């Protein structure tokens, strides 16, 4: 009986031990899967490539390396941007110690111009349906050497750069050269067929599934991506990046510059107004930052300054509107030429109202201020100068006169009899200096 109880108790203990082992194994498996999946970082670049964009991507790469992300995914939709900023991003991606995947999305998006170079610098590239990539020919504008020789140099440099990227990651170098030299552009299906990209993914989840198990060369060795079931950590632009990105918009920078110039000028014309000067100073500082980031064309800036000078001269010099028309033409040309890159330019829908508003400001606001300063005072003591009056008590040389129906103490350089007319030539305290007015 005792042995039977012992056997039953031993079987029960064995079963419970098996159950505990199974549960423990399941926990270990789940824990290992969670640790194995890890997380992926995702950032979004929507708009022109600027130094702010380069800083944003550079910080994202550093964070992904520091936090041990399985990879960094850059969702991109860009019309292009500045070459220097693009080269900075390329160097950062090539030196990254974490796999970087560029995903052209959403549907209808594109990776044009600068976006092509950045995609070729990434470890892997994917595109969403109905997207396109291409048109990477470098373009120069006024203020730069646009001679045939210089354009050829810039183009050859760009071709060498993108072919080097293509060789590094095993992509289609021939198409990349055509994208630079001939500005060709292709759809996502053509890009996949030509070996320009690695995947077509309908969304981020689909992309993570396709990335799982892919081998990526990293630090001179192959790294296998483990992305299935990974936690997605999005890092949108914070307020600091957003402010810098907004004021780096060519339209915003242009308006800030005009607002700063007009505010400072109004304050100089009307000392003590304070608010226009403060607003103008802040706007001008922000504009200087944006213009430095965007790389301006000196000829465009000089044309805008020349336009302001024309507006001022048009107020003081009778020109039958010629100076004002010259100022409008100069400002429109300068606004169109202000930025070097064609992808980063001021919109005509912003230029036209801005030019009209600036011309109106100088013609009316500044013009009225100048006329007020040049107009003879009509109130206060200075308003009495030049007024006529009548002697009430004989001036010999002191006496009293009536001016504007008021009795004033007065002094004259000669004796003037009562009833004679006098003219005020000065005011000293409460005493008028007068002289006889001949009939």
Report d(CA 85, CA 334) in Å as an integer. Answer: 24
- Structure tokens of 183? 């500005």
Q: Residue 102 is inside which H or E element, if any?
A: strand 100-104
* Active site residue ranges: 113, 153
Q: Which residues contact 379 (CB under 8 A, 6 or more apart)?
A: none
Report d(CA 318, CA 332) in Å as an integer. Answer: 23
- Helix %, strand %, coil % of the chain (to 5): 55, 20, 30
* Torsion angle in degrees (nearest 10) through CA of 20, 21, 22, 27: 90
Report d(CA 61, CA 228) in Å as an integer. Answer: 21
Q: Residue 336 is inside which H or E element, if any?
A: helix 322-337
Report d(CA 114, CA 80) in Å as an integer. Answer: 4
* Torsion angle in degrees (nearest 10) through CA of 183, 188, 192, 194: -20
CB atoms within 10 A of CB 257: 23
- Structure tokens of 64? 């992904």
CB-hemisphere CA count at 13 Å for 125?
30
Angle at 68 between CA 66 and CA 69, to 5 degrees: 115
CB-hemisphere CA count at 13 Å for 142?
16
Q: Tell me whether the omega of the peptide bond preceding residue 106 falls within 30 degrees of 0, making it cis.
A: yes
CB atoms within 10 A of CB 266: 19
| Closest to 423 measured CA to CA, from 391, 397, 393 | 391
Report d(CA 225, CA 40) in Å as an integer. Answer: 10
406 touches 383 (CB < 8 A):
no
196 touches 169 (CB < 8 A):
no
């Amino acid at each position: 009986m005792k042995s039977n109880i012992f056997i039953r108790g031993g079987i029960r203990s064995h079963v419970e031990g098996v159950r505990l082992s199974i549960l423990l194994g399941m926990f270990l498996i789940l824990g290992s899967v969670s640790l194995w999946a890890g997380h992926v970082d995702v950032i979004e670049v929507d708009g022109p490539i600027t130094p702010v964009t380069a800083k944003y991507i550079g910080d994202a790469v550093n964070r992904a390396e520091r936090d041990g992300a399985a990879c960094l995914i850059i969702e991109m939709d860009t019309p292009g941007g500045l070459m220097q900023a693009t080269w900075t991003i390329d160097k950062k991606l090539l030196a990254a110690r974490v796999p970087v995947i560029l995903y052209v999305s959403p549907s209808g998006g594109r990776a044009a111009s600068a976006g092509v170079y950045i995609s070729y610098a990434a470890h892997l590239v994917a595109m969403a349906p109905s997207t396109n990539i291409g048109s990477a020919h470098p373009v120069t504008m006024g203020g730069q050497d646009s001679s045939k020789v210089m354009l050829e140099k810039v183009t050859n440099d760009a071709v060498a750069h993108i072919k080097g990227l293509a060789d590094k990651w095993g992509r289609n170098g021939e198409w990349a050269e055509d994208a630079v030299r001939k500005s060709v552009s292709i759809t996502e299906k053509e890009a996949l067929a030509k070996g320009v990209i690695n995947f077509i993914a309908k969304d981020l989840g689909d992309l993570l599934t396709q990335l799982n198990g892919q081998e990526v060369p990293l630090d001179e060795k192959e790294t296998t991506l483990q992305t299935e079931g990974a936690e997605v950590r999005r890092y949108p632009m914070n307020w600091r990046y957003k402010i810098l990105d907004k004021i780096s918009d060519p339209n915003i920078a242009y308006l800030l510059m005009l607002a700063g110039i007009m505010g400072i000028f109004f304050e100089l014309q009307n000392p003590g107004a304070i608010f226009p000067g403060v607003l103008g100073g802040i706007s001008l500082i922000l504009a200087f930052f944006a213009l430095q980031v965007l790389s301006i064309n000196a000829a465009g800036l000089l044309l805008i300054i020349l336009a302001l000078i024309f507006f001022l001269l048009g107020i003081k010099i009778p020109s039958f509107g010629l100076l004002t028309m010259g100022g409008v033409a100069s400002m429109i040309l300068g606004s169109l030429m202000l930025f070097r890159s064609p992808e980063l330019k001021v919109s005509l829908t912003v230029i036209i109202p801005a030019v009209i508003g600036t011309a109106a400001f100088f013609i009316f606001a500044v013009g009225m201020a100048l006329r007020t300063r040049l107009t003879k005072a009509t109130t206060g003591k200075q308003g009495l100068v030049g007024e006529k009056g009548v002697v009430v008590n004989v001036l010999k040389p002191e006496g009293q006169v009536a001016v504007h129906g008021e009795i004033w103490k007065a002094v004259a350089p000669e004796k003037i009899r009562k009833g004679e007319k006098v003219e005020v030539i000065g005011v000293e305290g409460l005493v008028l200096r007068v002289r006889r007015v001949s009939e």
